[in-house]
């Protein structure tokens, strides 16, 4: 997703394409773990296999005794149709698994979740927001001070909904969810603009927040996970996706998620992913 992978839970994956393809249920012999990926979407994936999903794919490949190969396509419009469900007459599918989709995403057969994260507020230390440890702390800040902030966020994302709900629309600096430039990546909002002082804070999907905040050496950046609230959902569980009809393959992937849980969690922590529990979901009315 470019930012949740986004909205900027991945506006890209959420615009994935037409109706699910149906395939046979038999588990074919595999010569490789063939992964569908975005070629430039750190912290999740890139062509140098440096992302979270690349690392988890390596774990799975070793567990299966298979090499890992990638079929790359930008995670923008019709990603699933052009990767997992792409098949020319007489040819095989180019890849068999998407390593990160929101739980409940209906364009693929979704596995059980393997992590739960949330959007986060990111800001430089020592710039007047050091008291902020939660979204509630931020909203309790002097309104005149908040009104002066330039808060970067992806348009039509939970961050923009949150600012609108709390009367802070004028503080938002919108960025487009989808960008035609293949060199663009979601972390630029932090790594370039926030670090350079073009904006005062940013609200982005947690894995993006944690990874790029760690990469910026100066200024020191603070990451504050945000709790969902009525009308604004920040937290999402993330899963993997396979083609519909491939029940045995899905079960095998879920077995790997369970048996390699400790390794997966270690990778997520290494990348600075804010991992949250059910308390971050919006309270039931």
Whether 4 is in a domain gets the answer: no
Q: What pLDDT score does 240 carry?
A: 98
Domain count along the chain: 2
**Angle (nearest 5°) at CA 41 between 35 and 45:** 35
3-state SS of the chain is: CCCCCCCCCCHHHHCCCCCCCCCCCCCCCCCCEEEEECCEECCCEECCCCCHHHHHHHHHHHHHCCCEEEEECCCCCCCCCCCCCCCCCCCCCCCCEEEEEECCCCCCEECCCCEEEEEEEEEECCCCCCCCCCHHHHHCCCHHHHHCCCEEEECCCHHHHHHHHCCCHHHEEEECCCCCCCCCCCCHHHHHHHHHCCCCEEEEEHHHHHHHHHHCCCCCEEEEECCCECCECCEEEEEEEECCCCHHHHHHHHHHHHHCHHHHHHHHHHCCCCCCCHHHCCCCC
pTM for the full predicted model: 0.89
Whether 2 is in a domain gets the answer: no
Per-chain mean pLDDT for the chain:
90
150 & 83 share domain: no
Q: Domain containing 53 — which CATH number?
A: 3.40.190.10
Which of 199, 225, 251 delimits the end of a domain? 225
Look at strands 235-242 and 115-124 and give their pairing: antiparallel
Backbone φ and ψ of 272, nearest 5°: 75, 20
Q: Give 142's pLDDT tier (boundaries 50, 70, 90).
A: very high
Which of 200, 225, 250 delimits the end of a domain? 225
Q: Give 28's pLDDT tier (boundaries 50, 70, 90).
A: low
- Model confidence pLDDT, tens digit, residues 154-194: 988 999 999 999 999 999 999 987 777 777 888 999 999 99
Can you give the residue range of the structural domain that contains 190?
118-225
193 & 134 share domain: yes
Give the count of alpha carbons within 13 A of 265, CB side only.
8
Whether 127 is in a domain gets the answer: yes
């Amino acid at each position: 997703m470019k930012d949740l992978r986004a909205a900027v839970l991945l506006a890209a994956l959420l615009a994935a394409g037409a109706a699910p393809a149906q395939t046979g249920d038999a588990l074919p012999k595999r010569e490789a773990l063939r992964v569908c990926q975005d070629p430039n979407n750190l912290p999740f994936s890139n062509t140098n296999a440096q992302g979270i999903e690349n690392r988890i794919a390596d774990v799975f490949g070793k567990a299966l005794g298979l090499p890992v190969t990638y079929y790359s396509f930008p995670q923008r419009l019709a990603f699933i149709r052009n990767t997992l469900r792409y098949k020319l007459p007489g040819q095989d599918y180019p890849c068999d698994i998407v390593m990160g989709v929101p739980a409940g995403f209906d364009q693929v057969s979704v596995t059980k979740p393997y992590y739960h994260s949330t959007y986060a507020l990111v800001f430089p230390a020592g710039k007047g927001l050091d008291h902020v440890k939660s979204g509630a702390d931020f909203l309790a800040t002097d309104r005149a001070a908040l009104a002066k902030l330039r808060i970067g966020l992806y348009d039509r994302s939970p961050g923009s909904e949150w600012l609108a709900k709390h009367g802070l629309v004028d503080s938002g600096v919108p960025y487009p969810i989808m960008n035609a430039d293949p060199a663009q990546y979601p972390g630029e909002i932090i790594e370039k603009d926030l670090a350079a002082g073009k904006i005062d804070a940013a609200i982005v999907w947690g894995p993006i927040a944690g990874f790029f905040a760690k990469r910026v050496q100066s200024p020191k950046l603070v990451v504050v996970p945000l709790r969902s609230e009525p009308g604004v959902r920040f937290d999402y569980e993330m899963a993997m996706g396979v083609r519909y009809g491939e029940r045995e393959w899905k079960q095998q992937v879920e077995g790997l998620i369970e048996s390699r849980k400790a390794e997966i969690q270690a990778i997520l922590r290494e990348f600075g992913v804010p991992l949250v529990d059910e308390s971050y979901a919006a309270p039931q009315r």
